[in-house]
Amino acid sequence: MTKQTVNIAIVGTGVIGAGWAAHFLARGFAVTATDPADGAESRLRDWIDNCWPVVERLGLADGASRDNLTFTPDVHAAVRHADFIQESGPERLDIKHSLIASIEAGARADAIIASSSSGLAISEIQAGARHPERIVLGHPFNPSHIIPLVEVGGGNLTSPENIARTMAFYASTGKKVIRINKEVKGHIANRLQVALWQEAISLVQRGVASVADIDAAISYGPGLRWALLGPFLNLHASGGPGGITLLLQHLGPAQREWARDLGTYPETDDYIESIAQGVDAELQSYDFPEMLHQRDQLLIQLLEAKRTLSQLP
């Protein structure tokens, strides 16, 4: 699929669909979006206007323009000429099934349907579809017009060719694409995050440290490196000349012991109040909206800087 020939349809223009629309417009594609909610079109256009300075700063492709956005409340019309359909409707299996049925009723049989679903398996979503082989996972990260990662995978009935087509297409739009080889709940990046949240909550509950200090332990510690190299390369770098093999041999016994002591995810909601109180205390001397603004500015600077360095993966 080349840019000149690819028409994009965005089905569902909430938080994630709007981000996808901005991303594809910035990469120079013609985008047709659909959403049945009242006021969806004006919300989408306002949202894209607001984020346009950011996508401009990240770099527009030739011909990129907000004018390349068409909106229709009619899903059949939205997907009729689409080569690539990004489904970002509500996260409920019954709604995904009815959405897929509506999309298939209007779309070409060979158009890719990529679902943004965070938690549902593609095998479940594609059950009952007319052409399940073209239904793939294309899971982004919020804000999806800024964060490069997309997790791609298939269900039992997705064809390997369509997974490969999807990966190549996202990569051609500047996304960092990873392949999920086997369906698991929560895909990959969110599972890694849950492992960390599980232990962070447990440390607060055990009285080991405050919410603010646990946040600082990541944001002033390993989190600074994680945006540059992932967990395995960082371990390899820590291992000196012996690399990760020596390091794992060396640290293995201690890490096994720490791992046996890790907390489990709370089974009830009792823990929420103490975590929320800790967050309130942490935010006392900050303006939270301004904090998020500064975070996003720094995130953009980081992405710009990473692009100039050829030896960062």
Ligand X SMILES: NC(=O)c1ccc[n+]([C@@H]2O[C@H](COP(=O)([O-])OP(=O)(O)OC[C@H]3O[C@@H](n4cnc5c(N)ncnc54)[C@H](O)[C@@H]3O)[C@@H](O)[C@H]2O)c1
- 74, 97, 87: which is closest to 8 by C-alpha? 87
Q: Confirm if 119 and 96 have CB atoms less than 8 A apart.
A: no
What is the nearest approach in angstroms of ligand X to the Cβ of residue 251? 34
Q: Which is nearer to ligand X, 122 or 163 (CB)?
A: 122
Beta carbon nearer to ligand X, 55 or 150? 150
Query: Taking CB positions, which residue lies at the least distance from ligand X?
Result: 14
Query: Residue 113: phi, psi to the nearest 5?
Result: -115, 110
- Which residue in 164, 65, 52 sits closest to 112, CA to CA? 164
Among 6, 8, 10, 12, binds ligand X (CB under 6 A): 12
Using the minimum distance from each CB to ligand X, give the nearer residue, 35 or 83.
35
Interaction residues for ligand X, span 60-119 (CB under 6 A): 75, 88-91, 99, 116-118
CB-based contacts of 18, cutoff 8 Å, min separation 6: 43, 44, 47, 48
Whether 237 contacts 229, CB under 8 Å? yes
Q: What is the DSSP letter of 94?
A: H
What six digits make up the tokens of 183?
Answer: 């369906």
Residue 14 in the binding site for ligand X (CB under 6 A): yes
Residues 135-154 binding ligand X (CB under 6 A) are 139-140, 142
Cα dihedral 301/307/312/313 (nearest 10): 110
Q: Which stretch in 10-18, 127-135, 229-237, 246-254 sits in contact with ligand X by CB under 6 A? A: 10-18
Nearer to ligand X, 40 or 204 (CB): 40
Pick 70 or 118: Cβ nearer ligand X: 118
Contacting positions for ligand X (CB under 6 A): 11-17, 34-37, 40, 75, 88-91, 99, 116-118, 139-140, 142
